[in-house]
Structure 1
């Protein structure tokens, strides 16, 4: 596939890195020559210095025979125009734009980005996507990652196996026998820096991160089975009142009115603005690294500190300080993948990488076959995929025990007519079933083949 990426920042770089690893033909455009130099020196991509919305620059990047344009510059208007130009002049089939400003995304303007109004097929709002991720983490304490699939009826939950985890050293098949009514399946294991696809006879070990696909209503019970009985936070402090922090606070106000929220925002004008828009949230002006501000926010009585500023360093340090001052747990936003490895030693309980969230949204439109959703884990070493089975799929009509699934794939759940099914040896996949599975990168092409359709449009 030939892809043009407008924007060579952190998100653009991450998308280019992933797509180039999968042997796609990738061109990257950015106005900053230094960013283009870095990306062309480190990745197998072509770089072009220029404005991503200018026709001549798009032409140089090969827009005439491109399959997709992904506009992820820092400016929404540039992203919108780049997609419009790619459509009008070069007939690029698939156009994806990152939209950050919430003004564009308000419900009353829902039709703005519909295909009949704008030549954009997919809009991605990193702030909203990350905000939803934060809210899911808050709802399920004890989980290090939570993502929903199949109309929100199926969840993928990443659960750390601690010393007191009751299910370690027990064959996975035996767990299914002990809890036959639990709609949950272990589909992946992250162990010693590697992602493994478990078999029924395999066992979990202390220190493992287990990836479990479960019916949404069974997630809390699954966490309890793994020894995670943490209570949902009643008192939350949010460091950073930007788009993400405001979105999280506003949503909690609407759906969990009993939760007490405080926001620490360093910009005075922003602090005043969000204090007028939020009804029950206390907004404090100051730095999340200031001991006096933390004391004023009653950090010692807080259940959860969520750090969502634009600085990884501030997010990490303020989360560490919060726990040192008596806060029970923390959740940290970290953009840089190089910092992910050091957080455990610093006492960070959970973290979110916004780049990974955005890349996952893009991947579902790159994947061939009837792929409905994709979520990338552990910096691309595993993927959770939701795909729809058609009559032509080799999976349809045969019992699971007769399926010769390729290595590197494990099916976790089936969504059929509003009902969630856990696969067993007798289960037969039907046409239009939606399958949620876990796959390693080497098996992604096999997944595409399993859910292939006769004609592809890209």
Structure 2
């Protein structure tokens, strides 16, 4: 696939790294010579210095042969015009744009991005995507990562196996014997920085992070089995009143009547502005690193502190301070992929990576075959994938035990006629089934082929 990426910042770089590692033909455009030079030096991509929406720059980047344009510059208007130019002058089939300003995204203007107006096929709003991810993590305390598949009926959660976890040192095969009606499958394990797909005889050890595909109805039971019985947060402190912090606080007010939130915002004008948007949420003006402000926000009695400022270090330190003051649980927004291990060592319970959320959204449209959902984990080391089985798929009509799945791939669940079916050797996949799998990064292409034609391709 030939892809043109406008914007070489953190998100653009992350997308380019992911796509180029899969042998896609990637070209990156950015107005910063330093960013273009850095991306050329570190990735197998072409780079051009220039304005991403200018026709001559897009022409030099090969837009006339591109299968997709991904516009993720810092400016919404540049991203939108880049897609318009790519459509009108170069007939690029798939156009993806990052749009941050919520005014463009209001339902009243939903027709704006149609082919007749601004022809953008996929609009990505980081604030909405990340905000929803934060809310999803809040809804499942005890899970370090969560993603929904099959219209929300199937979830993949990441659960830390602590010393007191009841199922450590137990072969996965025995979990089925111990809990025969449990609708959950362990599909991946991260151990000592190594991610692998386990076999039936493998055991989970203390310190492992287990990726589990589970029926929505049994999420709480699954968390309890893994030793996590944290309750829902009713008192929340949000550090950072930017677009994401405001979105999360507004959603809490609208959706969770029993939850009360307080927002800490450093900028005085911004604090006053967002305070007028809320009905029940209290806004405090000050630094989330100021112990007196944290105490004024009653962080010692809070169930959760969510650090959503635009500074990773502030997010990490405010979470650490909140924990020290007595806050039960903390969550941090972390842009730098090197920080999660440090955050974990400091006792931070969960984190959200905006780049990972955006990349996952884009990958859904890069993947070939009937791929309905993608979620990248461990900075792209593996993916949770929801794929629809076609009549021509070699999976259809055969018992799973007779299908030779590539090493590093495991089926977690099958969604058929609004029913969740957990996989076993006797289950047969039918045409139209939505199959949720976990695949290591170097096996994703083989998964795509499984859902396109037959095993003859690999």
TM over 0.5: yes
Quote the offset at 1:264 in angstroms: 0.3
Aligned-partner SS, 1:258? coil
Shift of 1:108: 2.2
| Superposition TM-score, scaled by structure 2 size | 0.97
1:342 Cα deviation from its structure 2 partner:
1.5
Question: How many residues are matched?
Answer: 454
Q: Is the 8 A contact 1:69 1:86 kept in 2?
A: yes
Moved over 4 A (4+): none
Partner secondary structure for residue 277 of structure 1: coil
Q: Distance in 2 between matches of 1:406 and 1:453?
A: 15
Q: Quote the Cα distance in structure 2 between the aligned partners of 1:47 and 1:16.
A: 11
Distance 1:18 1:341 in 2: 21
**Shift of residue 92, structure 1, vs aligned partner:** 0.7
Partner Cα separation in structure 2 for residue 331 and residue 246 of structure 1: 16
1:78-129 CA-partner distances (Å, limit 9, x unpaired) = 1000000001000111110001111111222223223343211111111111
2: distance between equivalents of 1:195 and 1:347?
Answer: 21
In 1, are the aligned partners of 2:394 and 2:453 still within 8 Å (CA)? no
Instruction: String of CA shifts for 1:238-276, please: whole Å, max 9, x gaps.
Output: 001111111111111111111110000111221112111
Kindly indicate whether the alpha-carbon contact (under 8 Å) linking 2:376 and 2:383 is maintained by their aligned counterparts in 1.
yes
Correspondences of 1:53-202 after superposition (within 5 Å): 53-202=53-202
Structure 1 residue matching 2:97: 3-state secondary structure: strand
Number of the residue aligned with 2:215: 215
Distance 1:277 1:151 in 2: 31
Indicate the residue corresponding to 2:39 in structure 1: 39
Q: Which residue of 2 aligns with 1:408?
A: 408
Shift of residue 346, structure 1, vs aligned partner:
1.7
Unmatched 5+ stretches in structure 2: none
* 1:397 match: 397
1:363-422 C-alpha deviation (Å, 9 max, x unpaired): 111111111111010111111000000100000000111111111110000010111110
- Tell me the distance in 2 between the aligned counterparts of 1:212 and 1:116: 43
CA shift for structure 1 position 33: 1.0
1:356 partnered with 2:356: yes
Distance 1:344 1:401 in 2: 38
Partners of 1:329 and 1:443 in 2: how far apart? 35
Deviations 1:323-343 (A, max 9, x none): 111211210001011222312
CA distance in 2: counterparts of 1:107 and 1:64, whole angstroms = 33
Please name the residue that 1:425 is paired with. 425
SS of aligned partner of 2:114: coil
- Return the alpha-carbon distance in structure 1 between the equivalents of residues 348 and 301 of structure 2: 18
**Alignment map for 1:366-405 (pairs within 5 Å):** 366-405=366-405
> Is 1:84–1:119's contact at 8 Å kept on the other side of the alignment?
yes
Alpha carbons 1:370, 1:453 under 8 Å: kept:
no
2:148–2:154 CA contact under 8 A, matched in 1 = yes
From the superposition, tell whether residues 201 and 252 of structure 1 become closer, same or farther in structure 2 (CA, over 3 Å).
same
- Which has the larger displacement, 115-124 or 275-284? 115-124
Three-state SS of the structure 1 residue aligned to 2:348 is coil
Which one is further off, 294-303 or 81-90? 294-303
Query: What TM-score, normalized to structure 1?
Result: 0.97
Q: Where does residue 338 of structure 1 map in the other structure? A: 338
Change (3 A) 1:225 1:116: farther
| 3-state secondary structure, aligned to 1:134 | helix
- 1:449 match: 449
SS at match of 1:210: strand
- Is 2:243 aligned against 1:246? no
Per mean C-alpha deviation after superposition, the further-off stretch among 348-357 and 171-180 is 171-180
CA distance in 1, matches of 2:57, 2:432: 42
On the 8 A contact 1:139/1:232 being kept in 2, the answer is yes
1:45: how far off?
Answer: 0.9
Q: Which moved more, 1:345-354 or 1:229-238?
A: 345-354
> 1:453: how far off?
5.5
C-alpha distance in structure 1 between counterparts of 2:103 and 2:309, whole Å: 20
Corresponding position of 2:5? 5
Quick one: distance in 2 between partners of 1:227 and 1:313?
A: 30
Which is further off, 267-276 or 147-156? 267-276
The superposition leaves residues 139-164 of structure 1 with CA deviations (integer Å, 9 ceiling, x where unpaired) of 11110001001111110000000000
Q: Secondary structure at the match of 1:330?
A: strand
Larger deviation, residues 392-401 vs 343-352: 343-352
Once residues 246 and 326 of structure 1 are traced to their aligned partners in structure 2, the CA distance between those partners, rounded to angstroms, is: 24
Q: Does 1:315 align with 2:315?
A: yes
Distance 1:375 1:204 in 2: 23
Q: Distance in 2 between matches of 1:252 and 1:378?
A: 28
Separation (CA, whole Å) in 2 of partners of 1:347 and 1:199: 30
Structure 2: distance between partners of 1:442 and 1:14: 17
1:226 and 2:196 equivalent?
Answer: no
Paired with 2:302 and 2:341, the residues of 1 have a C-alpha distance of 26
